[in-house]
Amino acid sequence: MTAPLNRGTLNPGTLNRSSLNRAALRGRTLRGAAALGVTAGLLVIGGPFLLWQRANLGLLRAGPQTRRVVSLTFDDGPDPRSTPAVLDALQAAGAQATFFVLAAQAEAHPDLIARMLREGHEVQAHAVKHRHAWLRTPWGAYRDPGEAARRVQSVLRGVGSDQAVTLHRPPHGAYSLFTWLGQRAAGLTGAHWSLEGRDWRDGQTPGGLRAHLRRALHPGAVIVLHDAGPGARVTAPALPGVLADLKERGYAATSLARLQGLRRVRRADLPARAMGTLDRLLDRATRTEPAGNLSDSILRVSPTRFPGPDLTLRGLTPGGGLHLRAGVPAAEYHANNALMSQLGPIRTVRVARQDFRRVAADLQRRPELRDAQAVYCQSAVTPILERLGFETHDLPPARKRRLRVWANVLRRAYGTRAPAQEPKLSVLSREDFLRLYGEGS
């Protein structure tokens, strides 16, 4: 006879099914935990990185580009070893700035805070702990903006100032959700920048910093530098030359409080920002540089081949026309759309006339432009270019339709609702362009 199964004996099939169920449960639990972790990471770090650290939504970032005024801002001070040299340079140039100070440093050196205020500068809050937001505990990141502002405000009152601490720039300009919540709870506005000096980089030199700012300078820029820490070893000796460059190019330097037109970044500003990013990416791919290699130029220039159609230019002098064939070396110029949209047609003509002189110098300075037989643009701003001496020709229908669609996309991104005019080809021979805009013209 077969012995009956003992009630305490496990069936092997039941054991295997039970093990599989437990393994499946563990797998679902791990997947759920991973999904929760990813969601939390996006909420606490990923979203804030995109919204505030990159897009600067709701933050102060830059003034309008219609006036040659920039705001100088300095982080991490005050430090008696380097801040006095920065203040000396600003005083000698008659420039004002905004200092984002560390709470403990401000408390330790109220005499430097008093000097900043006495000489017309603005003092705002940087941090209590100079630590990247992603490395802070949630509570620490939340408390830091408000505590820094209160302690800096106390120092200001102690030196007899009624200036209010209303701005906060977190270390590294970095945000987590809790940094933003802390700013909101303390009634502070985040202050970012549009031009980074990079004075803190390994190998940076005073001359390198000065050259970088000279190239990257643009109207309305909020420039971030350092009057303490690693960046100060570069900024302090470079600042007199930087300020001299600003004056030479007709720029004034002021604090954030005095930068006219400064406002928080809005959602409506983001399409133009996105287009600016796209322009920079395309420029790198096509060897396009701003005229004169200066970012405040309204024009950007690239080496290319003339796209056609074949045509004979009238020329500026009798018998001076050029038969221009598709495929010959040429220089194509593009507009700085962000700047042009703010200047308007009349001021655009005046600024472009000056910048075409930079293009003329580029034709002889840049090796890849030295063989260019013509200078041209395909655009919907033909009336402006005709006033600047260019002759106009029709484009092939398919190219005209494509360019008109793109022109309308650009106009919408930069806040213009009126449809673009018909794109045309505006062109001059190299000889005629240099006759109009070259040295001695």
Per-domain residue ranges for the chain? Answer: 69-265, 268-437
* Catalytic hit among 126, 168, 212, 226: 226
Residue 432: pLDDT band by 50, 70, 90 thresholds? very high
> Mean pLDDT, to the nearest integer, of 281-290?
91
Lowest-confidence pick of 17-26, 118-127, 337-346, 420-429: 17-26
> Does the pLDDT value for residue 26 go beyond 70?
no
Residue 30: pLDDT band by 50, 70, 90 thresholds? low
Residue 380: pLDDT band by 50, 70, 90 thresholds? confident
Tens digits of residue pLDDT in 127-142: 999 999 999 999 999 9
> Mean pLDDT, to the nearest integer, of 214-222?
96
> Mean pLDDT, to the nearest integer, of 181-195?
98
> Does the pLDDT value for residue 251 go beyond 90?
yes
> Does the pLDDT value for residue 27 go beyond 80?
no
> Does the pLDDT value for residue 218 go beyond 50?
yes
Tens digits of residue pLDDT in 39-56: 555 566 888 889 989 999
Check the CA dihedral 311-316-318-319 and report its sign: negative
The confidence score (pLDDT) of residue 349 equals 84
Residue 321: pLDDT band by 50, 70, 90 thresholds? confident
Residue 98: pLDDT band by 50, 70, 90 thresholds? very high
> Mean pLDDT, to the nearest integer, of 405-433?
88
Which amino acid type is present at position 123?
V
> Mean pLDDT, to the nearest integer, of 67-95?
98
Residue 253: pLDDT band by 50, 70, 90 thresholds? very high
pTM: 0.86
Kindly state which CATH superfamily the domain 69-265 is placed in.
Glycoside hydrolase/deacetylase (3.20.20.370)
Question: Can you tell me the distance from the alpha carbon of 407 to that of 63, in angstroms, rounded to the nearest whole number?
Answer: 25
> Does the pLDDT value for residue 317 go beyond 50?
yes
* Active site (annotated) includes residue 75: yes
Lowest-confidence pick of 12-26, 75-89, 210-224, 250-264: 12-26
The confidence score (pLDDT) of residue 396 equals 94
